[in-house]
Amino acid sequence: MHYIWLMEFSAQQIAALVSGEIVGNPDVSVRGVSKIEEGTPGTLSFLSNPKYEPFIYQTGSSICIVNHTFQPSKDLPPTLTLIKVSDAYACFAKLLEAYSQSKQKAPGIHPQAYIHSTAKVEDDVYIGAFVSIGEGVHIGKGASIYSHCSIGDHSTVGEGSTLFAGVHVYDSMVVGKRCILHAGVVIGSDGFGFAPDANGAYQKIPQIGNVIIEDDVEIGANTTIDRATMGSTIIRSGVKIDNLCQIAHNVVIDEHTAIAAQAGIAGSAKLGKHLMVGGQVGISGHLHIADGTKIVAQSGIPSSVNESDTFMGSPAMPFNDFKKAHIVFRKLPELRREVTRLNQEIEALKSTLK
């Protein structure tokens, strides 16, 4: 499968963008990208992992980005042009980023958008159809707000941030600069706060805080981040959150932490810097997790982690301990049979002694 671009790029243009060296035809052009093993004419591929090298000798791609260290062990396809760079993977990512930026909507406000008279919209902003922007909202320069988004009263969307279709930002929320909120994200929904009364019926505890999202944060589709009961739920700069995650009230996630899909973080948990949290991880409330901690997918964290380590299991334990415990766990059926046999022998001995 290959993916078509709306524009055509020559090898010469691509090499200039990534400071690469052309080996082959500088005038050959591409209009799409493809995996090297699925390459077709008119597409661009890359080779970074040596295990994929066999595919370069049979690829149909017109251009392939490779590392400077790459030396063909046999003849390449005559239609293939190489662009040699210091880091093929990073350069390919740079090209995709450049292409993504070229697809951004031109600035302008759709006539079917609603913008309150007190809202402040800076220059070069794109606002799509059926967007609702409330009283006192501030939209920073170069932001993009796609269709069917709603920005509640007195909220802020920072410079260069993008809110894709159907994002809902409640009142008094803060979204920083260069953030990306994918479709269906909800910022500022009420935290799950209820208290039982004398009859055991749950009474709602009003949630009057907000959410603060700092700069360069990316949040995946249909993720929800709850407002604080009081104060703020805070997502620090550089945090990356995948799709379908739940971040509860008063949580703080520190800088450059990455959280994979379907993770859930309970109220008032404090996550440190540079954490890596796997998919479907559950983190209990009112705890702290040390900087640099790694949590393997589907693990459960019931208590604070005070020293950086890799954790696995539910309840989670240090990864090396989990591996040892897992070896024992796998042998439990065998151990059970052995215990049963020994019990039978003991009972037989008792009968003999009687």
Per domain, the residue ranges of the chain are: 2-102, 108-321, 322-353
pLDDT for the residue 6: 53
* Residue 269 pLDDT > 90: yes
- What is the topology classification, in CATH, of domain 2-102? 3.40.1390
User: 108-321 sits in which CATH class?
Assistant: mainly beta
User: What does DSSP assign to residue 86?
Assistant: S
Q: What is the dihedral of CA 150, 153, 155, 161, to 10 degrees?
A: 30
> Is residue 10 very low, low, confident or very high in pLDDT (cuts 50, 70, 90)?
very high
> Is residue 96 very low, low, confident or very high in pLDDT (cuts 50, 70, 90)?
confident
Long-range pairs, 93-96, Cβ under 8 A, ≥24: 94/17, 94/18, 95/14, 95/17, 95/18, 95/44, 95/65, 96/33
pLDDT for the residue 108: 96
Model confidence, pTM: 0.85
pLDDT for the residue 5: 56
* Residue 55 pLDDT > 90: yes
Asked if 184 contacts 225 with a C-beta cutoff of 8 angstroms, the reply is no
Burial class of residue 336, CB neighbours in 10 A (0-12, 13-18, 19+): exposed
pLDDT for the residue 4: 55
* Residue 292 pLDDT > 80: yes
Q: What is the mean pLDDT of residues 172-189?
A: 98
**Catalytic sites, residue numbers:** 249
- 144-145 and 174-175 beta bridge pairing: unpaired
Asked if 199 contacts 217 with a C-beta cutoff of 8 angstroms, the reply is no
